[in-house]
Chain A
């Protein structure tokens, strides 16, 4: 992996983390205000979920060059 490609992957990871944590926090806020009587746990839950999803995406992104994606091809019957 070249340096520029690595830098691009890190940029994508950071942007993804910001968006996902923010989304999780926002959804947690909405649910906390509407259904859960302004408790704190939906915010923590949402932010944690967003962080976990971002981490998982980053992990897949960085491991991608080493994974061989195979696909099954049906044998053509003569």
Chain B
């Protein structure tokens, strides 16, 4: 009975220590990388992550393939889009807004022309 009486508090304190160290490690990581700091730092962290993550994922998948013996299907390279979303969005917005701004005058003009045309036809 003695070991089991000691076992439960020790196990719970060990569990608490493990949880505390995991949580403390996460908080320290956030503090160290200044993830909750000024926006320039966050932008730099995001750029670094964009550079680091794809090769790391590729290496991890290679490692998994080697360990498990599975062969990853060779996916074809993703097609390179020469499509700038931001530029097309901006130019689209500008086009729509300029069209809306000239719409009343254009409508007047077209209706006048249509009216002239009808008058010509009915003469």
Residues on A close to B: CB < 8 A?
11-13, 15-16, 18-20, 23-24, 26-27, 30-31, 34-35, 50, 53-54, 57-58, 61
Could you list some 24 contacts between A and B, CB below 8 A?
A11-B43, A12-B39, A12-B40, A12-B43, A15-B43, A15-B46, A16-B39, A16-B42, A19-B43, A19-B45, A19-B46, A20-B35, A20-B42, A23-B35, A23-B36, A27-B27, A30-B22, A30-B26, A31-B23, A34-B20, A35-B19, A35-B23, A57-B38, A61-B39
**Main SS at interface, chain B:** helix
A53 and B36 form a contact (CB under 8 A): yes
B43 and A16 form a contact (CB under 8 A): yes
Nearest-CB residue, chain B, relative to A31: B23
Nearest-CB residue, chain A, relative to B27: A27
Closest CB in chain B relative to A69 CB, distance in Å: 15
Of residues 39 through 57 on chain B, the ones whose CB sits less than 8 Å from some CB of chain A are 39-40, 42-43, 45-46
Give the size of the chain B interface in residues (CB under 8 angstroms). 16
Q: Knowing that A34-B19, A50-B36, A54-B39 are A-B contacts, what are 8 other residue pairs whose CB atoms are under 8 Å apart, sorted by A's residue number? A: A12-B40, A13-B39, A15-B43, A19-B35, A19-B42, A19-B45, A24-B36, A30-B23
Q: Closest 4 A-B residue pairs measured CB to CB? A: A16-B39, A19-B42, A34-B19, A16-B42
Chain A CB within 10 Å, residue with most, of B27, B39, B42: B39
Known contacts A30-B23, A35-B23: does B43 contact A23 (CB below 8 Å)? no
A43–B43 Cα distance when bound, in Å, is 23
Of residues 66 through 84 on chain B, the ones whose CB sits less than 8 Å from some CB of chain A are none
Q: Which residues of A contact B23 (CB under 8 A)?
A: 30-31, 34-35
